[in-house]
Structure 1
Amino acid sequence: MKLFADLSLGRLLGALLLLAGGATHAQQVLNVYSARHYPSDDILYAGFTKKTGIQIQRVDSDDAGIIARLRAEGTASPADVILMVDAARLYRGEIMGLYQPVKSAVLEAAIPLNLHGTVNADGAANWYGFSTRARVVVFDPRKVKREDVDTYEELGDPKNKGKLCIRSGSHPYNLSLFGAVLEHTGEAKTEAWLKGMVANMAREPKGGDTDQIRAVASGECAIAVTNTYYLARLMNASAPEDRAVADKVEVVFPNQNSWGTHINIAGAAVARHAPNRANAILFLEYLASPEAQDVFSNANNEWPAARGMKPNNPALQRMVGQGFKSETIPISAVGRNTIKVQQMLDRVGFK
């Protein structure tokens, strides 16, 4: 208190006002740790700041880097919001205790329940999905009939031997797909299916989803698995050679006559020790708004997750016309299943 004893009353009041002003300013900050690396996200950040006045401070890394940083920072972490792509990755952070549950009437109204993370007894969710990407099959119509690849199960059918290209089985995109199939069909059928896919491969798994599409277009294989936004990028590309790749393949949304096409998410959580919790919840609610949902769709070729939202993206509309049937199993269950799936992959030799 000696510091204040030496101050005049005016200077004391000025110092108190300065401290109060600093606290107010601190409340208008949001620290975002993001594993999303899309230019479109800059539009989301700018839109949120314009709407709320809250300035965003970002840490960009991959999911492993973000998780390692959060664990190292512990209770001193400045992270408010964690952005990740894929249910398997989000679930990993959840079981490590890196998030805090959030209950929001806005989010409950906007985001379908199956796109919530694990929900506790109070109805609060550990994370929410804000955009989706369908995991579809692309094929060479000169070599494959649509009806031979219109279910995921057929990817492991002997009739497609030597035709399949796919990225690593342990990549989160595939782990989530396989986790969904496990939820639908059970352990025995899923493991037999994975073994069938290994037998049907045209080459060993390698590359990303775009590489699989290019492999079908070049004739290296006849069937491939990809997330829709990779195909949409090629369809919307300015380079004619990229559009030519998209023109050489056809796409099928599997399992329209059964449980529906598997969808994965990009999602967000409020960090466990978030210093700006109220601002973090505001940001999550903004991501569910029509304005942000339109950015996900038009700027990054993702499907809107919020109820009632339709994509305005020409490539997405070309793929499905009026829409498609998607699975409705809880995305949190898909995340939980990936641990069992990884063990299956080891047993069947799916690299």
Structure 2
Amino acid sequence: MKDKRQLIASTDNQTKSGIMVGISACLLGDEVRFNGGHSRSKYCCGPLQDYFRFEKFCPEVAAGFGIPRATLRLIGEPHDPRMVYTRDQETDVTEQFHAGYQARLEKLAHLDGYILAKNSPSCGMERVKVYQPNSHPHDIKSAGLFAKALMDRYPHLPLEEDGRLNDAHLRENFVQRVFAHHTFRQQVLTAPSVKNLLAFHSQYKYILMAHSQTEYRGLGRLLGQEHQQYTINELCDLYLQRFMKAISKPASRGNHYNVLLHLFGYLKPHLEGEVKQDILNTFESYLQGYVNLATALTLLHHYLRLFGSHYVQAQRYLSPYPKALGLRNQV
């Protein structure tokens, strides 16, 4: 039988997709939890495996804590907690834990996202309890130590917890961010130039507008006169930072509605009044919550394929990820 440390460090090449996503090993069914069990995610092991190539890792095993192992917890100040054993809080294992993941942390620049195990003192992205000396948790929650190090080292990388992926809006937003991050790396970072940045910005115009019209305009200014004060690498890094922050939260229904109307503007010269009104009524039904986003977009996309320019047909908003994922059927 393979050593479990080798098992959790391996890469799963389930598909030919070039989209590499890191993941807590327990979420893929590896029996690496403190009790020798796993936290297998049906969604990660199901639909997402068709589109992502997962790289699994368990920082607690990598730090040599063993399987099974005594439970761990965070103690001290929420902004700078320490890691100890739950039943032996005099034994501080913080430095041992950090040493276990450091080499791995420096080899993740090729990833386009990361899915973390919720509530874990090592991998929890948020809402991780930090305990006081009286064994009561602070009101302020923290991130797990590995998750915090990952966020600090790769601030642009899309992250999500497995539990939050049960929320349709958070799930759709995470997958969109992963595909956008991948597209940026492929279209811009492989050959950094202002031209390639402008092409990316053009394709993602309406995705940006759905999240923040202010930041869409701000990034446009950055690529205009403002870009001259930066080197191309600085410009790419700054653009990616601001872009990923702008789309970091799900877009509101009202913002989507406004984008639908903007895109509808390309069709007005080509459609008769009754057809126009049918489309607008569908948009209104979406705004009121009677139909999902996919319904409104399917109708709009049909007419854009018939009458839309190459520019509008190339908008990533119309197809930010494979439609087979069905994500917009639920938002």
The bucket for the TM-score relative to the shorter chain is under 0.3
Greater RCO, CA 8 A, separation 6+: 1
